[in-house]
């Protein structure tokens, strides 16, 4: 039998080829040459890329035998995951390959800002000896504010503590026990901005976090403070940052990522009090080698039919066909769960599977639930292998429970969690009909039956006349179209849970005004990630 064909479309380390081993027919091609790429894809079983090769719908269609696309890095902007999933092609990446490199680059930005290293070097290269102009500050006893205490945030914490700094952190999903373990003081975002001498942000980019550091937040910072972003472009409002830097609201900034890359037209590049790097977070020899070796191992697993922990769209491996449709359902339930639970850190979660499904191995559903829960919570890419680790790092107890009895549905899956503030959250879902439509059937004890949609709004309020008219008028005035709605309650005049599906994202300010108008206890928008 002929060996499976593996196409390497960009330059990868020799260790990557070694990790693939002798079991594959390896072809090399310039992935930016579309005609040459398509010719190789015609017989490819796997393709390894970095960031230059575009594996879009057209490229995937040109590869009828393709089983796996492997991105030797963290980001997946050059891979059409939806098209790959529709074609049954697994997509894998290397989610942990760059965490040390990203943490070290952050520290480099902090040191460079504190001591004006790039500007001083540039002046000296121009023949200028300006020691007094570039007088800096020590890091010792300064306060470092970390927004997002995931793996990269934890690595930065350890490194900055070695400088004798005081580290405080804002992370709505971290428990006090985990913060104490890291030696970090958890604070609100407002307190962090007010107290920090250096603020570094390490959050995922979601509708909720895009622009989370804007004019209002920058105004809270000390005029001697600095802000750093090596995570995702757009977490800091670039226009607001330009205004703050030119007005002296803050002392300076360090950016490795931008809304538009390369940022050729950015006004920020001309400022003296900003340090910029061209998205170098993963640009180290070590990170590139780790990424290549990691995805090579994933390709071997995928082509041998085994479970691939770093798959971002399908789990792969020996999973019963009856269980497999539950994977995307549970991932979506996880995203809904974390959206509703966002007001307090999660301390424990049970994944309860009831019905005929329990006759099979459903352990992958536990991984899928955790992957969904953390997808929009942490800055790094979440996979089946790191999701349990993310839970462990945050002190979250996780259990998989099974019960063959399911009185109402053939199968039902429930995520039930306890939060640090003493409250509980639950979300249940099932697959219905011959088309196996994914539906939410319960939220916090209220029975609903809502098909999943990209944009969901969940509200809890005291049931009384006129409420629907209030929020319907508010959304209508903002040209937010309500595509579907369901209201559940236990008794008249008690609490009512309303779930809306809308056709577009809802601005945070509008949600806040609607919440106030109807005195809602819960008012959240959940943007489901494909």
What's the full length of the chain, in residues? 530
**209 plus 326 within the same structural domain:** no
490 is catalytic: no
pLDDT tens, position by position, 469-505: 998 898 888 899 999 899 998 888 789 999 999 998 8
Residue 274 pLDDT: 96
**392 plus 504 within the same structural domain:** no
- Other beta carbons within 10 angstroms of residue 73's beta carbon come to 26
Sign of CA dihedral 192, 216, 277, 292: positive
**405 plus 424 within the same structural domain:** no
Q: Which of 110-119, 201-210, 350-359 has the lowest mean pLDDT?
A: 201-210
The residue among 296, 318, 340 that closes a domain is: 318
Distance CA(106)–CA(85), nearest Å, equals 34
Residue with tokens 């995702």: 232
Under the banding of pLDDT at 50, 70 and 90, the label for residue 81 is confident
**242 plus 384 within the same structural domain:** no
The residue among 385, 401, 416 that closes a domain is: 416
232 is catalytic: yes
pLDDT tens, position by position, 264-320: 889 999 899 999 999 999 889 999 899 999 999 999 988 886 767 778 776 455 567
Residue 314 pLDDT: 61
**327 plus 421 within the same structural domain:** no
Give the Cα-Cα-Cα angle 445, 456, 238 (nearest 5 degrees). 130
**297 plus 385 within the same structural domain:** no
Domain membership of residue 234 as a residue range: 99-276
Under the banding of pLDDT at 50, 70 and 90, the label for residue 384 is low
Residue 205 pLDDT: 82
Q: Considering 109, 279, 354, 416, which one is annotated as catalytic?
A: 279
Distance CA(163)–CA(182), nearest Å, equals 15
pLDDT exceeds cutoff 80 at 200: yes
**128 plus 255 within the same structural domain:** yes
Under the banding of pLDDT at 50, 70 and 90, the label for residue 119 is very high
279 is catalytic: yes
Q: Considering 58, 141, 261, 449, which one is annotated as catalytic?
A: 261
Residue pair 424/470 in contact by the 8 Å Cβ criterion: no
Distance CA(459)–CA(307), nearest Å, equals 38
**129 plus 272 within the same structural domain:** yes
Residue 64 belongs to domain with CATH number? 3.40.50.720
Number of domains observed in the structure of the chain: 4
**115 plus 147 within the same structural domain:** yes
**113 plus 262 within the same structural domain:** yes
Residue 440 belongs to domain with CATH number? 3.30.70.260
The residue among 392, 416, 440 that closes a domain is: 416
Q: Considering 116, 159, 202, 232, which one is annotated as catalytic?
A: 232
pLDDT exceeds cutoff 70 at 512: yes
Nearest to 446, CA basis, from 430, 464, 460, 431: 460
Average pLDDT over all residues of the chain: 90
**326 plus 389 within the same structural domain:** yes
pLDDT tens, position by position, 20-56: 989 899 999 999 999 999 999 999 999 999 889 999 9
pLDDT exceeds cutoff 90 at 415: yes
Residue with tokens 């999701």: 387
Under the banding of pLDDT at 50, 70 and 90, the label for residue 77 is confident
Q: Kindly compute the dihedral angle of the four CA atoms of residues 44, 48, 53, 56, in this order, to the nearest 10 degrees.
A: 60
**168 plus 186 within the same structural domain:** yes
């Amino acid at each position: 039998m002929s060996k499976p064909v593996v196409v390497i479309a960009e330059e990868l380390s020799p260790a990557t080829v070694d990790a693939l081993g002798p079991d594959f027919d390896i072809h090399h091609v310039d992935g930016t040459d579309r005609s040459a790429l398509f010719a190789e894809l015609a017989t490819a079983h796997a393709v390894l890329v970095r960031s230059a090769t575009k594996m879009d719908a057209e490229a995937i269609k040109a590869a009828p035998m393709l089983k796996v696309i492997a991105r030797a890095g963290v980001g997946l902007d050059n891979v059409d995951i939806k098209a790959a999933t529709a074609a049954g092609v697994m997509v894998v990446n290397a989610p942990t390959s760059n965490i040390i490199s990203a943490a070290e680059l952050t520290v480099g930005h902090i040191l460079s800002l504190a001591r004006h290293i790039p500007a001083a070097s540039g002046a000296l290269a121009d023949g200028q000896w300006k020691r007094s102009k570039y007088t800096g500050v020590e890091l010792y006893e300064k306060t470092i504010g970390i927004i997002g205490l995931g793996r990269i945030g934890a690595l930065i914490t350890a490194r900055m503590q070695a400088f004798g700094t005081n580290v405080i952190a804002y992370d709505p999903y971290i428990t006090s026990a985990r913060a104490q373990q890291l030696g970090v003081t958890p604070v609100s975002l407002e307190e962090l901005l007010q107290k920090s001498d250096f603020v570094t942000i390490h959050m995922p980019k979601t509708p909720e976090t895009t622009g989370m550091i804007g004019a209002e937040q920058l105004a809270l910072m000390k005029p001697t403070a600095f802000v750093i972003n090596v995570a995702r472009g757009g977490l800091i409002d670039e226009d607001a940052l330009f205004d703050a830097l030119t007005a002296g609201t803050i002392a300076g900034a360090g950016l490795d990522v931008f809304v538009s890359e390369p940022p050729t037209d950015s006004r920020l590049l001309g400022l003296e009090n900003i340090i910029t790097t061209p998205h170098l977070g993963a640009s180290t020899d070590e990170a590139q080698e780790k990424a290549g070796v990691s995805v090579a191992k994933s390709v071997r697993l995928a082509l041998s039919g085994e479970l691939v922990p770093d798959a971002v769209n399908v789990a792969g491996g020996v999973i019963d066909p009856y269980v497999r449709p539950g994977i995307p359902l549970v991932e979506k339930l996880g995203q809904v769960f974390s959206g509703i639970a966002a007001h307090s850190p999660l301390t424990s979660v049970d994944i309860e599977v009831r019905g005929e499904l329990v006759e099979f191995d459903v352990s992958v559903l536990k991984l899928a639930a955790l992957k969904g829960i953390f997808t929009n919570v942490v800055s790094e890419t979440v996979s089946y292998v790191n999701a349990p680790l993310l839970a462990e790092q945050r002190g979250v107890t996780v259990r998989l429970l099974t019960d063959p009895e399911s009185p109402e549905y053939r199968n039902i899956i429930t995520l039930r969690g306890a939060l640090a503030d003493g409250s509980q959250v639950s979300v249940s879902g099932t697959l219905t009909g011959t088309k196996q439509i994914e539906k939410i059937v319960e939220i916090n004890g209220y029975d609903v039956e809502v098909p999943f949609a990209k944009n969901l709004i969940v509200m809890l309020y005291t049931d009384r006349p006129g409420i629907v008219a209030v929020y319907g008028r508010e959304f209508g005035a903002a040209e937010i179209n309500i595509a579907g709605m369901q209201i559940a309650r236990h008794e008249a005049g008690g609490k009512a849970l309303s779930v809306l599906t809308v056709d577009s994202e809802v601005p945070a300010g509008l949600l806040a005004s609607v919440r106030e108008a109807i005195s809602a206890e819960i008012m959240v928008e959940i943007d489901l990630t494909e």
